[in-house]
Amino acid sequence: MIELFNDREIDAMRPAGVFVGEVLTALRAAAGVGVNLLELDALAAKMIAERGATSCYVDYHPSFGAMPFGKVLCTSVNDAVLHGLPYDYVLANGDLLSVDFACSVDGWVADSATSVAVGTARPEDLALIRTTEVALEAGIAAAVVGNKMGDISAAIGDVARAAGLSVNLQFGGHGVGRTMHGDPHVSNDGRPGRGLPLKAGLVIAIEPWFMHGTDEIYTDPDGWTLRSADGSRGAHSEHTIAITPDGPLVLTAR
């Protein structure tokens, strides 16, 4: 079911968005050569506890997951491109790390993701990260009353194609509110002028994620982590936004 939220409810979502942004800012600062993925997860868990928030990931068990996720972050490194389950891995110079984080504050959810090059960055990785960021900006700009969902998707896909990238359509953005994943689905490619009419009060996560050399993925033996089929690296950018009469409101700005 697609929900539309009133101004009071969207205001109530703001603390969750601010907190998610704060956690991702802290994680970007903490991620560096020699840092273990489990340390990053522990940092986020500590911030959740101190804030009195609730993780959306620990007990999360959708049909595509092998078991409840069990951690508070998705940490995807290099060819791990989405849903990376944190494990005992120490970040190395030149790694490409994507971090996805969602939590609930006072019963309202926010969801956001960011990618960062660890240590000495590869120029092609920086370009890939920037492409996801530009695509996110384009998708947000299209999230206005009177447009269609296809306008958001097409804006994202146009940026990917301009960079010479293909787009995986298995996973994309989604509705956000009292739960982390709801309707509608927000594809990372589509046709302008098609699909759901965008109305004030719709709250969605827009999340472009691209890979260097393919649009095909497979599931790691851990039952969660998605990896590129050809071993190429991926990057991921995401914000939770509310569509308002005055334009898109980024709830997870940082």
H helix or E strand, kind and range, residue 77:
strand 74-77
Please check the confidence at residue 23 and state whether its pLDDT lies above 90.
Answer: yes
- Report whether 181 belongs to an annotated binding site: yes
pLDDT computed for residue 65 by the predictor? 86
Known binder of ligand: residue 125? no
**239 marked as part of a ligand binding site:** no
What is the count of structural domains for the chain? Answer: 1
Residue 109 forms part of a structural domain? yes
Residue 1 has pLDDT above 90, yes or no: no
133 known member of a binding site: no
Residue 160 C-alpha from the chain's centroid: 16
Domain CATH for 199? 3.90.230.10
Range 41-58 average pLDDT: 98
The three state secondary structure string of 173-227 is EEECCCCCCEEEEECCCCCCCCCCECCCCCEEEECCEEECCCCCEEECCCCCCEE
Which residues lie across from 238 on neighbouring strands?
113
11 is in an annotated binding site: no
To the nearest 10°, the Cα dihedral for 81, 107, 66, 165? -20
> Is pLDDT at 64 greater than 90 in this prediction?
no
- Is 246 assigned to a binding site? no
Report if residue 2 sits inside a domain: no
Position 146 in a domain:
yes
Task: Give tens-digit pLDDT for 68-94.
Answer: 999 999 999 999 999 999 999 999 999
- The alpha carbon of residue 242 and the mean position of all alpha carbons in its chain are separated, in whole angstroms, by 15
- pLDDT given at position 70: 96
59 is in an annotated binding site: no
Task: Give the domain range for residue 187.
Answer: 7-250
With 90 as the cut, is the pLDDT of residue 63 above it? Answer: no
Using a cut of 0.95, tell me whether the model's pTM lies above it: yes
pLDDT of the residue at 173: 98
